[in-house]
Every structure is written in structure tokens, then in C-alpha cells.
Amino acid sequence: MRILRPIAVVFSTLWLAACGGGSDDEVSATFPNAYVQMYNGSANSANTSLTLTLDTTDTPVGEAPFADVTNLVGVEGNTFKLKLTYKSDSTTTKTIKEDTVTLTNGEKTLLFMAGDFASPDLLKMNFVRDDTLDDQFKVSVMNLLNNTTTYDVYIGDSTKTFTDAVLVGSAGYKTSTQFKNSAVGSYFIYVTKGGDKTVLFKSSAVAFAYETEFVLVLRAAVGPQQNKLAVDLIGNTTTVLTQEDVNSSAQFRVYNSINDVNPGKIFLGDLTDTPAFANVAADTLTAYKETVAGDYRVSLADAQNNLVMRNGLVTLSQNSVKSIVFYRDANANAAAITVADSKLPQVFDFVFNAVNVIPNYNQVSLYFVAPGQTMETTPYYVNTLNYASQTSVTLPAGEYTMFVVHKDTNNNKILLAQTELKTLVTGSNYLLVAEPDAFSLSGYKLSLSK
């Protein structure tokens, strides 16, 4: 039997390393190579690529946006130069960090990019790939919560309560725990402050179904919600499973595109004297409002308390962030579209929803044109957006003029509306609505709100 090398954690200003000795004859036949993967834990980062270099040979490992991992790549063990890069635009690649890393056959090296993307830290965890696990998995914790608190992480059988959960370990910022073996199965993940039994975080049931190593990453949840905790589960695939607190609330906001309901009142649940949102002017996007997760009736009334729409349905799950767009359909009846907003940092790339509530055409096209480009040359467009539908748009940071266009059966284009030149503002959660407008020359407009 192969002798497993002990896993121990030591620290320095740059590297967080797990050390072990051993010779080449101990290397598993199942895992003969050195394996490397990077997790992007820098919340204000771009999509970041990792490249290894040995002599003059480059090995691209892959790229990862925030809270995701690169490919898992196997190489022959050696000491490599490494480089972290990103594309600042479609043609320019910039280097964010350079260093070296020693990779050992039979081990996996998991790199964590953390902190401010302008000068990120690079942490390293390396461990033996264990092929002796029998109906068991190994789990460790990496803490990327930037505060002075130490956190305890537990896993507990999903059929039992927290009192039956088992401590995986305790970790402060930029530190990790020893690996702990457990039987494969379904577990809840719990997080408490160090030495405390008050549960700050409980996940939904997680299936640890594979006989392999898992790393739980503690990080701050991003998006409109503040002071929330998330846990990312990293295995030996390119998929990261993000867990959020099952007891957390949800957030939503509304956009009123109905010009004759000005202002409007929005009710969530029962009709009460206190609406969820009051005095929502036409063409206005509200701020987010926090509420208990659940399924809700949503209704719209005018300033005189006349019901314009009732019995709409919106589902607000734990940690969900949504926008509700009120509009009039082709029969002039009030209706609503609910969209799930991105919770990713809006820094280098902006991810937002576009909604089409123009009833006169079955579908439209959207174009996002930077200075010096045209609709024919821009790489950023939505070819088809059906009426009463939405789509997700991703744009790199920059300036854009946005167009909504209808194409007839001969592919001739009709310009319905356009925005002024807009500069995307860091940290903004945008919503784009194509809608009727009786006051414009074309009868339509394109509203970009945040």
C-alpha cells in the first residue's frame, strides 16, 4: 500500500503551503502527475487566466471568473514560473501577478487568488491525491473572509440537527484547516464564530458523493445584499458549487414602465395600508428591498388606490435578488415580468438583464456600440429578444450607445430607439428595458437604469 504523506499547514506572507516528504516510488498509479487548479477569490477581479512556464514552454491552465475555478491540469512535477493575466479589452492582455510554484507528482496544488485584484495575494494548498478512500471523502476549509474573526465549520448529516454535526476545523483569514475524513453522503454545512455554537450559516443539503478531496471556501457574498456569507465547494472538477444560507432573506426591486400609472404602489402579499413600494413614478427603478423568502402575490395600484394588477406571482428564494418589471401588454392589461439579477461584482464585466415590453413587434434586436464602432462591427448584440421576454447581457466595462432595432422579413432594420452614450459605472446593477413611449418621435424608448 502506498504510504500517505502527512498533511500539515504552514504560512508565509505569500504562500499557504501544506508540506510533506516522500519519494517517487510512493506516487500513486492512479494519480501519477502533479495537478494544479486555481480558484478566483478576488471579488473585484476580471476573468483571470493562469499560465505555467517551464523553460520556454507555456502550459495554459485555464481561466476563472470570481468564485470559480480553472481547469484541473496534470503536468510532470517541477518548479514552474506562473503568470496571472486578464484581458483589459478585446485585444489587450495584462499581467496581474508573476511568481513561481513547485508542483509534486501525486499531489494537487490548489491556488487561491484573494484580496484586491490590483495587487492580489496568491495562497497555496497542496495535498496528496488519495486513492485509498473507501466510501469516504476528505474535506478542508479555506477562509477568505477579510476580517479578524476565526470561523468554525461543521458538516452534519442532513437528516439530523446541528447538535450532531462534526467540526471540520477552525480558520482565520487566509488560513486553511487539516483535511477530515467522513463517510460519503448528504450533509448540511454550518458556520459559526470560533468557539461559539450560534449558527451563522446553514447550507442546503450537499451531496458529498465522491471518494475524493473537497475544499470549502468561506467568502463574502457579493451583489446587492450586504454582510452575507457564502461557501464555495471545490472538488476535482471545473464546477464550483456555491452554497448560501438557507435562512437568509431575499431582495427585490421594481421598475414601473406604465406611463398612466404614475405614481404606482406595489404590494407584496396582502393589500395593506403599507405597500412594499409607494409612489413609484413611471420609468423609475426602485432600490432593492429586503424581505423574508417565500412565494408572494404581487399587485399594482395607482395613486387613488385603484387596483391595476392583482394576483401576480413572484417567488423570492433565500438569497435571491430579483427585479420586477410592470408593463401593459398588447391588450392594454397590466402585467409583470420577474428577472433574476446577477450577484457577481460589476467591475470589469457587467452582467444585467434586458427586458422587451414593446407589444407592436414579436421580437427586436439589441446592439451595444462602443465609440468608433457601428451596429455592423460591434461584437456585443442580442439578435433576438421576443416580446414580453428577457435575456442576460454581458458587457466589458466601457462606454456604449445602446440601440433597439426591429428586423422585418427581408432583414431590413427599423430603428425603434437608442440611448445616449452611457458609461458603465463600477458596482452598478443595471436593468435595460425596451418599452413604448408616447412622448418620443418613434413611439419607443430604451431605458437603462441602476
**Residue-level length of the chain:** 450
Cβ atoms of 77 and 103 closer than 8 Å = yes
Beta strands 444-449; 431-436: pairing state? antiparallel
Position 1 pLDDT exceeds 60: no
For 377-387, write each residue's pLDDT tens digit.
Answer: 999 999 999 99
Give me the pLDDT at residue 294, please. Answer: 92
For 94-114, write each residue's pLDDT tens digit.
Answer: 999 999 999 999 999 999 999
Q: How far apart are CA 45 and CA 17, in angstroms?
A: 23
Confidence of residue 4 (pLDDT cuts 50, 70, 90): very low
Cβ atoms of 243 and 224 closer than 8 Å = no
Q: How far apart are CA 187 and CA 204, in angstroms?
A: 8
| Cell reading at 55 | 523553460
When pLDDT is averaged across residues 74-85 and rounded to a whole number, the result is 97
114 φψ region: left (φ > 0), alpha (ψ -120 to 50), beta (else): beta
Q: Please, what is the end-to-end C-alpha distance for the chain in angstroms?
A: 60
From residue 56, alpha-carbon distances to 53, 81, 86, 172 in Å are 7, 10, 21, 39
Give me the pLDDT at residue 90, please. Answer: 66
Give me the pLDDT at residue 160, please. Answer: 96
Q: How far apart are CA 121 and CA 110, in angstroms?
A: 14
- What is the pLDDT of the chain when averaged over all its residues? 91
pTM to 2 decimals? 0.84
For 214-250, write each residue's pLDDT tens digit.
Answer: 999 999 988 766 678 999 999 999 999 999 999 889 9
2 or 315, higher pLDDT: 315
Domain ranges of the chain: 8-244, 249-341, 342-450
Give me the pLDDT at residue 11, please. Answer: 30
Confidence of residue 24 (pLDDT cuts 50, 70, 90): very low
Tell whether the torsion through CA atoms of 180, 183, 189 and 194 is positive or negative. negative
Give me the pLDDT at residue 64, please. Answer: 96
The yes-or-no answer to whether 249-341 and 342-450 have a common fold is: yes
Q: How far apart are CA 293 and CA 280, in angstroms?
A: 23
Q: How far apart are CA 375 and CA 353, in angstroms?
A: 20
Q: Which fold has domain 342-450?
A: Immunoglobulin-like (2.60.40)
DSSP β-bridge partners for residue 267: 299
Give me the pLDDT at residue 318, please. Answer: 86
CATH number for the domain running over 249-341: 2.60.40
C-alpha dihedral (219, 244, 429, 418), degrees to nearest 10:
130
